[in-house]
Amino acid sequence: MAEKLIVISGTKEEQYVSLLAQLRSLLEGETDLIANLANVSAVLKDAFDFFWVGFYLVKEDELVLGPFQGTLACTRIKKGKGVCGIAWQEATTQLVADVDAFPGHIACSSLSRSEIVIPLLRGNEVWGVLDIDSDKLGFFDKTDQCFLEKLCNDILSKLCQK
């Protein structure tokens, strides 16, 4: 794996296009899922002004904390609980402009103000979620959703073919 990715300046869309192209080729060279998820969380945290970036992986009837960048986080989330558990249950992205307005939101940090959670899909099955938090209200939009869904389901789900 190359030692660094280039984060270009420009619009958020241009940054995502550049970053996803680089990630796609970098991840192709490594088969270990945890290593790849760890690097993806590091790259996203580095490229954008996110407060917390990480993965929760489905293990039996729970989501269990996986590779992440940021502050201490809760380790286990039940299906249907919190933003992550709803994303798993519904198998749809949850874009939350104000976490205080989301019933059942699990506050791992009081600094988190908005959040996006994207399910990782293998066919119709959810095998994990990508969770990103911001310390700013309304930080995520449809551009984030579109590119993060591409990352999760065009790139990452191909790495998890078990």
Q: Which parts of this chain interact with ligand SME (CB under 6 A)?
A: 52, 73-74, 77, 82-85, 105-106, 108, 112, 115, 131, 133
Would you say 105 and 113 are in contact if contact means Cβ atoms under 8 Å apart? no
Closer residue to ligand SME, CB minimum distance, 16 or 52: 52
Residues 49, 33: Cα–Cα separation, whole Å: 25
Give me 19's structure tokens: 């970053």
DSSP-derived letter for residue 131 is E
At closest approach, how far in Å is the CB of 100 from ligand SME?
11
Closer residue to ligand SME, CB minimum distance, 16 or 50: 50
Closer residue to ligand SME, CB minimum distance, 22 or 54: 54
At closest approach, how far in Å is the CB of 18 from ligand SME?
26
At closest approach, how far in Å is the CB of 94 from ligand SME?
9
- DSSP percent split of the chain into helix, strand, coil, nearest 5: 40, 25, 35
Nearest CA-CA partner of 128 in 67, 69, 71, 74: 67
Closer residue to ligand SME, CB minimum distance, 84 or 118: 84
At closest approach, how far in Å is the CB of 145 from ligand SME?
17
Closer residue to ligand SME, CB minimum distance, 22 or 84: 84
DSSP-derived letter for residue 107 is -
At closest approach, how far in Å is the CB of 11 from ligand SME?
27
- CA distances (Å), 74 to each of 26, 32, 92, 105, in order? 29, 24, 21, 12
